[in-house]
Structure 1
Amino acid sequence: MTRNFRNGPGNWPERQDEMTEQLDQQARDIMTGNDRGGYTVPTSGLYPYQWNWDSMFAAWGFSTFDRARAWVEAETLFASQWENGMVPHIIFHREVPEYFPGPEVWGRERSPATSGISQPPVAATLIRWIYEADRAEGAAHLRALYPKLLAWHRWFMAHRCERGMIVVTHPWESGRDNAADWDAAMANVDGSGVGEYTRRDTSHVDGSMRPTKEQYDRYLALVHFGRDCHWDEEVIRQSSPFRVADPGMSFIFLRACRDLAALGAELGEDTSEIAGWIAALEEGAASHWNPERGHYDSVDIRTGRFSGALSSGAFLCWYAGVGGDAMLPALERIMQAVRYPVPSLDPADPRFDAPRYWRGPMWGMFNALIARGLAEAGHGAIAEDLRRRTAECIARNGFYEYFNPVTGAPAGGGLFTWTAAIWLTWASPAAEGRV
């Protein structure tokens, strides 16, 4: 059972050593408890399969106490890579008939079955961090994984890159399912014909913390569209009603390309192709800048319009190595507005909803990436403030999927893998190699 610490400010950090030891062990116990033998589920019950970016955060977390297991996690994920290079966002390793939408909804016959879309490509970055912790142990693993990473990045450039920005063809592909970024584009998706279904998420988590029924209908309509065209990328590019360039994806991918180039150089590979991608993505980052609102923003590829949403994805600019200090005023304002930043949507936005998934909550794993970028850009004090506040929230409320940024109240699934992972790698006072 996860023990938390709710007895007020005096408990953290005055009892830091004792609490750190206990919380570190809880985090390790959560990760091993969610281990299904070669892959890790995000949390038992709510998410019973292997999710792409969750799995890579799990690998990062395992690397703090079992590096061999970390490499297995990454290798299991890439074993289900499609022939075109895409790494799917869900891998259905076993049958869980009550889960929805399961493999039959996606219509992709593989063994094991997979979904038909991808997810934020954090793999190259996290693999680099795992590898650099022990180059000798990781050398053979990196050599085997490098061509698979390269193929996935080529898929992104071929099928998801437009004007130097990374386009998502389903909100789930972004990892930020119900973000306000998608509102205008999703209004053009007709969800009226998806039929009856039973959601699994709201049977495990309060519906006020999840996407609405209307949003879910439209998510399923996009799944049906992809399934009916057999996930043909050219058909999706030409005919899908939803194609949005996401700064979160663009920045994660740009950072991943930088790290892939570093890994390639380590292996003695020719990285000139990757250098071309990086140049295109750096130029494309400027297309995400909304001059009227003064922040990085999503762009509806169909209409060319900005979303008008200042979401947490915009604060990955430092992680990507772009933007200078242009986003600092917005970040400083938001960090003053909430106790536990970074909220997934600007609290000043009328659509802000503190407990509802990506409409307001703070996500620890996003904070870890934002803070890494801040520190690398020379904003170490802000990065450390963000780490401390994230650590306090987890210590007081438990290892949950996400948190109310105003109160710290836990939300979503409990005993959550990626929250345990970022505790071990970054948030914990005992985390090694923290920046």
Structure 2
Amino acid sequence: MNQQTNPDREARNILIANDRGGYTIPTEGLYPYQWNWDSAIAALGFAEFDNDRAWTELETLFSGQWSDGMVPHILFHKSDPGYFPGPDVWGCNGPIPSSGIIQPPIAATMARRIWEKDRTVGEARVRALFPAMLAWHRWVMKWRLDDRGAVCTTHPWETGRDNAPDWDNTMARIDASDVGEYQRRDTSHVNSEDRPTKFDYDRYIKLVQIGRQSNWDQQTLLSANPFRVADPTMSFTSLRAARDLLALSAALGIEADGLEDDIARLEAGALSLWNDDLGSFDSRDAHSGEWSESVSNASYMCWFAGIDSEKMLDRLRHTLDTVPYPIPSYDPDMPKFDARRYWRGPTWAIINMMVGIGLNDMGHTKEAEQLRAKTGDLISAYGFAEYFDPTTGSPAGGNAFTWTAAVWLHWAGRN
């Protein structure tokens, strides 16, 4: 146990130490670049003590936006041979060397929250960012929706939930026998038992190779990519972002035609991810229609998207009462639960925060406060780790982690 004497100061120091001059890395060594949704959360943390730096974080993220509106999941600002796969493997042609996929589009949501902390200082910054955020939203609407309006992921890395059981069935059908030799770097930084397996990683790289062979052309990838899964993470965050963009457009008097229709379509798509037999929001293979049969922490992000569910609330109450350090990234009662392996069981503060924000927004204040307090207790007792064992609280993955520090400053550490 790593009880901290002054977690507020330590959290600020982590953000400052991971600052690389306009963007923040998730943690030293393991993740040496700017990650998309990590960066949006980092901005939220900076806003608690340096509003200008918060806006700079988002502006740097959007400096890597492609001409078609896509915002990559990694921006390779500086070369670092210690990371794989780097820009030479991705082979992208954006304004900054980058990956060819996205991550959950939470930047607009975080921009709104930062602006609402200080509207006077932030108005010019959010106005300048708005067209870029809207362009990314429209890219998602054009290229990522299935026929029911749910938002799809085209690579497990896009969701941020890399090795979640949600993808197992789809990944098992991918032939990665010709992926070739490569050298992973992640397992040289952290315990390999906490990371995705080689079976998973072969398929991650195979999907990158398919994207590169398609020159990252989205029209080609609609048919060439065997991995296309409608996912709660992408669907709920995209719906929330659309709602926040609409709120910003109204507050700032900026035209944003079509957002109301987009919200209706995204809401219908998100609701289509309800698996009645499972009694939970679930992922669905967009090619085959097959359910993942997976209750994940993303299943609880419905409230973040503005979708209420009494059945999910009952599940959450049970989880809060029975799991020492909720919310596990995969239901402990399900057969593939692994308390320490990345997204197959561990608790992640970032998801807890988004679930908690959603609960509070929708009036479930008791559950929101329970989750916030439990997350705060976890971080204050075990430190600013990447993620945590939900049964023991023990830290796993990277240390001195940016988004865990940001979550503490913005949400978990508040009484």
For residue 261 of structure 2, what is the aligned residue in structure 1? 276
Cα distance in 2, alignment partners of residues 110 and 316 from structure 1: 31
Cα distance in 1, alignment partners of residues 45 and 229 from structure 2: 31
The answer to whether the aligner puts 1:236 opposite 2:236 as a matched pair is: no
Q: Deviations over 1:15-54 (max 9, x none)?
A: xxxx4xx110000000000000000000011000000000
Aligned-pair CA distance for 1:377: 1.6
Query: Secondary structure of 1:161's match?
Result: coil
1:2-81 counterparts in 2 under 5 A? Answer: 4-5=2-3, 19=5, 22-81=6-65
For residue 424 of structure 1, what is the aligned residue in structure 2? 409
For residue 181 of structure 2, what is the aligned residue in structure 1? 196
Q: Deviations over 1:76-105 (max 9, x none)?
A: 000110011000000000011221000001
Q: Does the CA-based 8 Å contact 2:329-2:345 persist in structure 1?
A: yes
Q: Which amino acid in structure 2 is aligned with residue 209 of structure 1?
A: D
Cα distance in 2, alignment partners of residues 144 and 169 from structure 1: 30
Compare 42-51 and 234-243 and name the one that shifted more.
Answer: 234-243
Cα distance in 2, alignment partners of residues 258 and 111 from structure 1: 28
Compare 208-217 and 326-335 and name the one that shifted more.
Answer: 326-335
Aligned-pair CA distance for 1:284: 1.4
For residue 11 of structure 1, what is the aligned residue in structure 2? none
Q: Which amino acid in structure 1 is aligned with residue 3 of structure 2?
A: F
Cα distance in 1, alignment partners of residues 414 and 263 from structure 2: 34
Aligned-pair CA distance for 1:122: 0.6
The answer to whether the aligner puts 1:407 opposite 2:392 as a matched pair is: yes
Q: Does the CA-based 8 Å contact 2:66-2:95 persist in structure 1?
A: no
Q: Does the CA-based 8 Å contact 1:31-1:62 persist in structure 2?
A: yes
Cα distance in 1, alignment partners of residues 227 and 141 from structure 2: 18
Cα distance in 2, alignment partners of residues 205 and 362 from structure 1: 17
Q: Which amino acid in structure 2 is aligned with residue 116 of structure 1?
A: G
For residue 286 of structure 1, what is the aligned residue in structure 2? 271
1:216-365 counterparts in 2 under 5 A? Answer: 216-365=201-350
Cα distance in 2, alignment partners of residues 307 and 23 from structure 1: 38
For residue 387 of structure 1, what is the aligned residue in structure 2? 372
Q: Deviations over 1:325-361 (max 9, x none)?
A: 2311221222233101000000011100000000000
Q: Does the CA-based 8 Å contact 1:61-1:424 persist in structure 2?
A: yes
Aligned-pair CA distance for 1:376: 1.5
Cα distance in 1, alignment partners of residues 74 and 414 from structure 2: 32
Q: Which ranges of structure 1 fall in alignment gaps of 5 or more residues?
A: 7-18, 431-435
Query: Secondary structure of 2:120's match?
Result: helix
TM-score (norm 1): 0.93
Q: Deviations over 1:295-335 (max 9, x none)?
A: 11101011111110001111000111113323112212222
Cα distance in 1, alignment partners of residues 271 and 78 from structure 2: 43
The answer to whether the aligner puts 1:141 opposite 2:125 as a matched pair is: yes
Q: Deviations over 1:173-224 (max 9, x none)?
A: 0110001110111111111111111111100110110000010000000000
TM-score (norm 2): 0.98
Aligned-pair CA distance for 1:132: 0.6
Cα distance in 2, alignment partners of residues 67 and 328 from structure 1: 34
Cα distance in 2, alignment partners of residues 266 and 389 from structure 1: 34
For residue 125 of structure 1, what is the aligned residue in structure 2? 109
The answer to whether the aligner puts 1:112 opposite 2:110 as a matched pair is: no
Cα distance in 1, alignment partners of residues 95 and 79 from structure 2: 12
Query: Secondary structure of 2:311's match?
Result: coil
Cα distance in 1, alignment partners of residues 243 and 283 from structure 2: 22
For residue 15 of structure 1, what is the aligned residue in structure 2? none
Query: Secondary structure of 2:151's match?
Result: strand
1:87 to 58, 71, 75: 71
Runs of 4+ in structure 1 over 3 Å off: none
Q: Does the CA-based 8 Å contact 1:334-1:347 persist in structure 2?
A: no
Cα distance in 2, alignment partners of residues 351 and 280 from structure 1: 33
